[in-house]
Amino acid sequence: MILAIDIGGTKLAAGLVATDGAVLSSRRVATPQGADARTLWKTLADLVEPLIKGVEGVEGVEGVGVGCGGPMRWPEAAVSPLNIPGWRGFPLRDELARLVPGVQVRVHNDAVCLAIAEHWLGAGQGSANMLGMVVSTGVGGGLVLAGRLVDGGTGNAGHVGHVVVDADGPLCGCGGHGCLEAIARGPALARWALDQGWKPGRASNELSRASAVQSGQVSVALYQEETAATGRQLAADAGAGDERALAAMRRAGRALGIAIASATNLCDLDVVTIGGGISQAGGLIFDPLQEALREHTRMEFAERVRVVPAALGQDAGLVGAAALLLQGDHYWNGP
C-alpha cells in the first residue's frame, strides 16, 4: 500500500493506492490560501493522518509518493510551488519522512506524475515513447522515452509548456517570450479572446464570470476557478459559433500542435496525451491541433505520432505519485 499525495495550488489530495494502481481511499482539502509554511504543513499532515492510522493492522504504508507543483530542487524535494507562495524551499520530503518514518518518500513534479499515470494505466499505456501533457492554468508535462521517465539534468525534463512556438510572441510567466504556455494556458487563452473583443456568453447565453479574471484582484483559488469557468464559457461560445471564441481556440490548438511537432521531431514520440481542462473542449482544440501538427510533422517517422486525450480522471495525480514507488523501475531514477 502506497500513501500517495497530490499537492496543488487549489487542493491537497491524499490516498492509499494498491499495487495495481487502484485508489482504495482518498481525501481532499482546499489548499489554505495565503497560509504560512507551518499552516500549510499542518493542513497536509492532518489530511494524511487518518490514512496512515486507517491501515494499521491491515498492511501498513510501504512508501510515500508525492506529486507537487514545481519548481523544486529534485530529488531532495525542497519545493517552491508557484501557486503556493507560503512554501519556498520547503523540505517536503524530509518532513514527510518524519511523519511516515521507515519508508521511502519519493517526490516529483505534479505534471510528471500525471504523465506517469497516463503511461502506466491511461492513454499512453503500451507506448515506449510518450509525452504526457496537462493544459490548464499552466502547461506542463512529463517525458517517457524507451519506457522510462526522463528526468534531465535536474529533474525538470518535460517542461513542454516552454517549447517556443512563436519567438516574438507574448511574454511568458517564465520570463521568456512565445512559449506554448504563454499562448495556450487557460488564462492566456481567455485574455487573448477578450482582447479580440470576445463578449463572454453572447453566443451561448451562459452566465459569464470572466470579468473577475480581468480585474486581476482574485485569489489564486478564485483565479483557477474562474479560469475553468472562463475556459468552459469560451468553449461554449466557440461551440455556438462565436468567431472570436473560435479564433482563440484555434490559436491555442495550433500552438499545441506546433509544440507537439517540435517534441515529436526531436524525440521520435509514439503518443502524446493531453489532460487538463482544455482537453475537454474536443474538436474545438483537437482539430486545429491536429492540423498544425500534420503541417509540421512531415517526415515518415513523425507522421505516425498519435495525440489523444488523457484517459484517467481526478485520481490520476495520486496514481502517478504512487507509481514513483510501485513502478520505480520505470519512473524513478533518483536515489
Footprint on this chain of a second copy (rule: CB under 8 A): 71, 127-129, 143, 145-146, 148, 150-160, 162-167, 172, 174-179, 254, 258-259, 261-263, 265-270, 292, 295-302, 304, 333
Task: Give the nearer residue to a second copy in terms of CB position, either 176 or 201.
Answer: 176
Task: Give the nearer residue to a second copy in terms of CB position, either 150 or 221.
Answer: 150
Q: How far is the CB of 261 from a second copy (least distance, A)?
A: 6
Burial class of residue 78 in the structure, from the number of CB atoms within 10 Å of its CB (0-12 exposed, 13-18 middle, 19+ buried): middle
Task: Give the nearer residue to a second copy in terms of CB position, either 102 or 126.
Answer: 126
Reference 5, options 37, 31, 35; nearest CA is 31
Q: Is-cis flag, bond preceding 288, omega within 30? A: no
Q: How far is the CB of 187 from a second copy (least distance, A)?
A: 19
Task: Give the nearer residue to a second copy in terms of CB position, either 189 or 305.
Answer: 305
Reference 83, options 140, 154, 153; nearest CA is 140
What is the secondary structure of 245-293 as a DSSP string?
HHHHHHHHHHHHHHHHHHHHHHH--SEEEEESGGGGGTHHHHHHHHHHH
Q: How far is the CB of 199 from a second copy (least distance, A)?
A: 29
CA–CA distance, 7 with 40 (Å, rounded to integer): 11
Task: Give the nearer residue to a second copy in terms of CB position, either 159 or 191.
Answer: 159
Task: Give the nearer residue to a second copy in terms of CB position, either 195 or 295.
Answer: 295
What is the secondary structure of 192-227 as a DSSP string?
HHHHTT--TTTTT-----HHHHHHS---HHHHHHHH
**Phi, then psi, of 118 in degrees rounded to 5:** -65, -35
Please answer whether residues 266 and 272 qualify as being in contact, where contact means their C-beta atoms are separated by less than 8 angstroms: no
Cα separation values, 168 from 117, 164, 302, Å = 35, 9, 26
Please answer whether residues 324 and 113 qualify as being in contact, where contact means their C-beta atoms are separated by less than 8 angstroms: yes
**The three three-digit cell numbers of residue 155, written as one number:** 529533474
Q: How far is the CB of 152 from a second copy (least distance, A)?
A: 2
Q: How far is the CB of 171 from a second copy (least distance, A)?
A: 10
Task: Give the nearer residue to a second copy in terms of CB position, either 129 or 233.
Answer: 129
**Phi, then psi, of 243 in degrees rounded to 5:** -65, -35
Task: Give the nearer residue to a second copy in terms of CB position, either 146 or 207.
Answer: 146
Q: How far is the CB of 106 from a second copy (least distance, A)?
A: 17
Cβ neighbours of residue 196 closer than 8 Å, sequence gap 6 or more = 244, 247, 248
Q: How far is the CB of 266 from a second copy (least distance, A)?
A: 6
Q: How far is the CB of 232 from a second copy (least distance, A)?
A: 28
